[in-house]
Amino acid sequence: MNNNDMPKIIGFLCTWCSYTGADLAGTSRLRIPSSIRVIRTMCSGRIDPLFVLKCYLKEADGVMMMGCHPGNCHYQKGNYNARRRYVMLHNIFKTLGLEKDRIGLWWVSASEAPIYAKVTNEFTQQVKRLGPNPLREEIFI
């Protein structure tokens, strides 16, 4: 792993809830791991499974998907679509030989900065325990 043993984690955050919650975590000076690289999407329903798979092909060790709580999506059903895709990605992970713990889906609202801080820290530790993305060696060596 790089950067003092920190995993490389990509976080896809819906702009209306999770991104705002992450922003609040920053302005509240909560401890956020440096392992997270955030990509803001308009809705968690916009997170195409190909985006996620491409992260692993580009050497990410883990991916976080975050959106508004069920019933609170600004586009009504986007987070339900995200949940279906998340389940589908688990099946694809099995085929690729990736551990399912390398991906996670959370609902984080704009006011839940402490939850954002908690899940990013916990997920970073979880991915750290798993070690580097195994596809990295297969693809890049």
- Total number of residues that touch ligand FES (CB under 6 A): 13
Q: Which stretch in 11-19, 30-38, 83-91, 116-124 sits in contact with ligand FES by CB under 6 A?
A: 11-19
Question: Measured between alpha carbons, how far is 56 from 49 in angstroms, rounded to an integer?
Answer: 11
Q: Which stretch in 25-33, 41-49, 53-61, 92-100 sits in contact with ligand FES by CB under 6 A?
A: 41-49
Question: Which residue in the set 20, 35, 44, 120 belongs to the binding site for ligand FES (CB under 6 A)?
Answer: 44
At 95, list the tokens: 């085929």
Question: Which residue in the set 11, 62, 78, 104 belongs to the binding site for ligand FES (CB under 6 A)?
Answer: 78
Residue 71 or residue 97: which is nearer to ligand FES going by CB?
Answer: 71
Subset of residues 57 to 76 that bind ligand FES, contact rule: CB under 6 A: 67-68, 73-75
Outline where DSSP puts E strands in 1-141: 9-14, 36-41, 62-67, 103-107
Q: Which of 70, 64, 7 is nearest to 39 (CA)?
A: 64
70-96 per-residue burial string, b: 16 or more CB within 10 A, e: under 16: eeebeeeebbebbbebbeebeeebeee
Binding site for ligand FES (CB under 6 A): 14, 16-17, 43-45, 67-68, 73-75, 78-79
